[in-house]
Structure 1
Amino acid sequence: MALLGERAVVLGASMAGMLAARVAAEHYRTVLVVDRDIPPERPVHRRGVPQAAHGHVLQAGGVAVLDELFPGVLSEMVAGGVPTWSDGDLSRVYLEYGGHRFLRSGCLPDAVTTYMPSRPFLDWHVLKHLSAIPNATVLSGHDVVGLVSTQEGQRVTGALVARRGATEAASVLDADLVIDASGRGSRAPVFLQDLGYGRPREDELVVNLCYTSQWLRIPPGAIHEHMVATFPRPGEATTVALLNHENDTWLMTVGVMAGAEPAQDYTDMLRLARRRLPRRLLEVLESAAPVGHTAHYRTPSSRWRRYDEMTRRPDGFMVTGDAVCSFNPIYGQGMTVAALEALALRRCLRRGDTDLPQRFFRDAAKIVRVAWRNAVGADLSLPEIAGERPLGMRINSRFADMVLTAVETDVVVNSQFFRVLSMLESPTRLMRPSILARVARANIRRPQPIPEPEPAPAG
């Protein structure tokens, strides 16, 4: 690989940061990842990743990137007890999306392997593999307080960092490239404004999401599924997810949107789950043993900072991951988008560093746009969410509802929808004539509405 500089500095050991650092290590003599947390000795929640205590799914599109950039990490996690779903057996997942329940029998004709690590377990293994790269180092326990640039501000030449809790002055880390992967709280807009470039425009949709999660001890074999997830539908803006993670541990997450009152404890979580889950699952959850404390998380909105639209930007500085776009997390897109952005970064670096930020932001925006439309379109299908619904979006929502009607009964449409949902393929694949014909047939003989789950008795 062509050497493009002496050092790249990555701000944040988020999933986006670790993936970006892995790619940068191919083109810079050294890569330094600056992070506020002290690397844990075992998989635990990190303060810098507050959402890690809640349900996460690494979509198949992200799995493929992870396997390419960190060979062996997937097999290592499986050896460590991470369950997988590889046979496409639809009885192993219970999914309801937009008020449509996925087919529960048969096997997907072109199934891909889904891995089910918890977020702390995944982060810990990826960080271990990154730390094994000879020219990559993690500078832990430090905050980023600013950028350093040339006198004219035309190029970023490093980052200003300070040790957490220390009294000494901040120090300068010289760099040929600085990549901000510090998450939703990124201060990149402020840093750019200080350099005279102004802030990027922001697209935002207010969703007022509140999560409550609880680890559970459930007897092996008590639940047949690997994954249970019911997404919001009109009139019921509640998400309930139950995920089987490493070593037969289970994580339950309940989310509410549009300002609804969130669950305060596990008893409260069960109260909300009774509205969405069938009796057989509720009976298991009623007898499950909570482990540890109940965790809470709030996110006010989906937000896309449009760095791709800035007419002026400095060389030597890029932004990736949630620092660019943070989606409504119930759709599980964030890590996979970050992984696809890492591949975009690799393609850009292989073409040299001329106009590197411009090329990267343009390519990354193409990736973000697909996920943004999917998430925002799903949210705006709920009357509880306020926002503009232009004609094009209403047409897309109607088509999505027709596809989801077919997903209830057609295994081929199921398979194609899974591949789109997993970000392996473009949504345009759903418009192939063979798929459209199946969607049309399913809607002509549309089945009766699926009965609501029979509520289990409280207690």
Structure 2
Amino acid sequence: MVDYACRHAVDRERWGMFTTEEEIVMTVRGDHAVVIGAGVGGLLAARVLAESFARVTVLERDALPPEPVPRKCVPQGRHAHALLARGGHAFDTLFPGFTSQLIDRGAPSCDVGSGFQWVLSGHRFALSPSGVRAIGASRPLIEWQLRTRVCALPNVEIAEHTSAVDFAGDRAHRRVTGVATRRRAGRALGEVVEADLVVDASGRSSQTLPWLEAFGCARPAEDRMTIDLAYATRHFRRDPADFDGRLGLGVGATPDHPRAGVIIAQENGTWIVTVSGYAHDEPPVDADAFTAFAASLPAPEFGRFVAEAEPLDEPLRYRIPTTVRRRYAEVPLPEGYLPFADTICCFNPIYGQGMSVAGVEALALRDCLRDGVEALAPRFLNRIRRGLDDTWTMAADSDLQMPCVAGPRSTRTRLANAYTVRVHRAAVTDPRVGAQFLRVINLLDRPTSLLRPATAARVLRGNVWPRPVPEDTVRPSATPGVRRGERIAEG
């Protein structure tokens, strides 16, 4: 076994981090565990595995920066991310004080009902406390802080510039016993890192399915949706008076106007602005066209802000052609292998679910490991199934509202989407409906909570009683997006 080191030591005094190693309670279930990928999912898995394995090695092909800045292998990290309320709870459970440290690092925090304006299905939610808090931290800050906390664990090591290229093991008996690796420099091709357990957190671009087939495993069935989504992001200087002191604005897409956008206050006195569009409504990266696209959203203050605020960089675009859920629970997996986080399910990122679902999965893995490592994968996958069902279905239903998204629209999907629009309409005048919806999208309550008799009655009341419609819910004239194949100016 190669003795890897965590190669991104930080100036702890400068960043106000820990001066001692993290303390964890260990019940050793095995000698060595390997995690593929040092993204958010991989780091969360490493934290949990550190309680059950004498040593944990995280393999990462990228160079890991010593400060909270975007990195090459996480291009989506430059765009808006959300740590939902349930995800924040999971992070705090695994790393006590995690969200407080984000705030100490300058990440703003607010109640998502009173400190953040929502315009969904063209309806402007009433501003009122919801009891659900949000943190405006960038993806690089969240990942860097996770990495720093994981590196403080005495039995965890991170191997940078190290790619997993295959599984090693007993193929006749279908057992993974390690990972063949390739290092950028200083190591031979095919060096095997032996392990009692390999956790696959290689994510959206995972290449491990053919490796599993070599062990005689059938490919899991996939729920795959072609959403043809693109989004573009620009940062602006933040003034505390912007948006009357609120910390952001979220505007949802509608079937007749498949564009969305979010403005979120972040650390370092900045705003992050991400706009998105489906199919031909691709957001441009030319600065003037980006501003015009923002002005087409059904919240006039969104466009005004982008036109008037001081930009700090040029727009940058990222594309998500598909979302996919792999049904690993339905196929027998080799012993010693466990898929995790985005390797199992890649969500539409505009809903901000990925990091929080990974946090919930980490807590589930922790519970499963308390019962040992035998049959770990089926026990873990069964434990997270219902939560994944809910989260995947919420995102898929929302995407299927867009006529350009291909996929079966069952009676349940059509009814769910019709009811969601009525929830949004009722939230204009009924903060309690809005608060319950915010609890659902923050993964605190199941979607079925919106159908409870008391909530359903308020939704009905909010859709029957006449009320004035605020002027700001009227959609301005749309501007054309960038169509595929057109020549565009990249920022």
Answer whether TM exceeds 0.5 for this pair.
yes
* Counterpart for residue 133 of structure 1: 153
Q: Report the secondary structure of 1:47's partner residue.
A: coil
Q: CA deviation at 1:354?
A: 1.8
* Counterpart for residue 60 of structure 2: 35
Q: CA deviation at 1:386?
A: 2.0
Q: CA deviation at 1:153?
A: 4.3
* Counterpart for residue 201 of structure 2: 181
* Counterpart for residue 382 of structure 1: 402
Q: Which range moved further: 238-247 or 281-290?
A: 281-290
Within-5 A mapping of 1:221-236: 221-224=241-244, 225-236=246-257
Aligned residue pairs total 451
Mind listing any 5+ residue stretches in structure 1 that lack a counterpart?
Answer: none
Question: 1:261 & 1:377 partners in 2: Cα distance?
Answer: 21
* Counterpart for residue 6 of structure 1: 31
The question of 1:164 aligning with 2:167 is answered no
Q: CA deviation at 1:281?
A: 4.2
Question: 1:259 & 1:427 partners in 2: Cα distance?
Answer: 30
- CA deviations on 1:176-198 (whole Å, 9 max, x unpaired) are 11001111111121111122212
The question of 1:427 aligning with 2:447 is answered yes
State whether residues 98 and 232 of structure 1, in contact with CA within 8 Å, keep that contact through their aligned partners in structure 2: yes
Q: CA deviation at 1:261?
A: 3.4
State whether residues 60 and 163 of structure 2, in contact with CA within 8 Å, keep that contact through their aligned partners in structure 1: yes
- Say which of 253, 265, 272 aligns to 1:251: 272
> Structure 2 counterpart of 1:113, which letter?
R
State whether residues 209 and 259 of structure 1, in contact with CA within 8 Å, keep that contact through their aligned partners in structure 2: no
- CA deviations on 1:244-283 (whole Å, 9 max, x unpaired) are 1013211111111124333122322211111115444433
Question: 1:329 & 1:303 partners in 2: Cα distance?
Answer: 12
Question: 1:50 & 1:444 partners in 2: Cα distance?
Answer: 46
The question of 1:193 aligning with 2:213 is answered yes
The question of 1:264 aligning with 2:264 is answered no
Within-5 A mapping of 1:70-89: 70-86=95-111
Residues 1:261 and 1:228: Cα distance change in structure 2 (over 3 Å): same
Q: Report the secondary structure of 1:255's partner residue.
A: strand
Identity between Structure 1 and Structure 2 (%): 35
State whether residues 171 and 214 of structure 2, in contact with CA within 8 Å, keep that contact through their aligned partners in structure 1: no
- Say which of 293, 312, 320 aligns to 1:299: 320
* Counterpart for residue 418 of structure 1: 438
- Say which of 204, 210, 216 aligns to 2:230: 210
Question: 1:98 & 1:456 partners in 2: Cα distance?
Answer: 16
- CA deviations on 1:334-376 (whole Å, 9 max, x unpaired) are 1111111111111111111121111111222222111110000
Under a length normalisation based on structure 1, what TM-score does the superposition of the two structures give? 0.94
Residues 1:433 and 1:314: Cα distance change in structure 2 (over 3 Å): same
Question: 2:70 & 2:173 partners in 1: Cα distance?
Answer: 38
- Say which of 394, 401, 407 aligns to 2:421: 401
* Counterpart for residue 23 of structure 2: none
Question: 1:246 & 1:2 partners in 2: Cα distance?
Answer: 38
* Counterpart for residue 42 of structure 2: 17
Q: CA deviation at 1:42?
A: 0.8
> Structure 2 counterpart of 1:368, which letter?
L
- Say which of 439, 461, 477 aligns to 1:441: 461
State whether residues 36 and 58 of structure 2, in contact with CA within 8 Å, keep that contact through their aligned partners in structure 1: yes
The question of 1:392 aligning with 2:419 is answered no
> Structure 2 counterpart of 1:42, which letter?
E
* Counterpart for residue 174 of structure 2: 154
Mind listing any 5+ residue stretches in structure 2 that lack a counterpart?
Answer: 1-25, 480-491
Q: CA deviation at 1:446?
A: 5.2
* Counterpart for residue 486 of structure 2: none
Under a length normalisation based on structure 2, what TM-score does the superposition of the two structures give? 0.88
State whether residues 35 and 138 of structure 1, in contact with CA within 8 Å, keep that contact through their aligned partners in structure 2: yes
> Structure 2 counterpart of 1:287, which letter?
E
Q: RMSD across aligned C-alpha pairs, in angstroms?
A: 1.9
State whether residues 86 and 444 of structure 2, in contact with CA within 8 Å, keep that contact through their aligned partners in structure 1: yes
- CA deviations on 1:198-237 (whole Å, 9 max, x unpaired) are 2111111111111111111233323332121111101111
State whether residues 158 and 176 of structure 1, in contact with CA within 8 Å, keep that contact through their aligned partners in structure 2: yes
- Say which of 125, 129, 132 aligns to 1:107: 129
State whether residues 227 and 243 of structure 1, in contact with CA within 8 Å, keep that contact through their aligned partners in structure 2: yes
Q: CA deviation at 1:455?
A: 7.2
State whether residues 254 and 263 of structure 1, in contact with CA within 8 Å, keep that contact through their aligned partners in structure 2: no
Q: CA deviation at 1:44?
A: 0.7
State whether residues 278 and 455 of structure 1, in contact with CA within 8 Å, keep that contact through their aligned partners in structure 2: no
Residues 1:273 and 1:292: Cα distance change in structure 2 (over 3 Å): closer
Question: 1:351 & 1:194 partners in 2: Cα distance?
Answer: 29
Question: 1:277 & 1:99 partners in 2: Cα distance?
Answer: 6
Q: Report the secondary structure of 1:344's partner residue.
A: helix
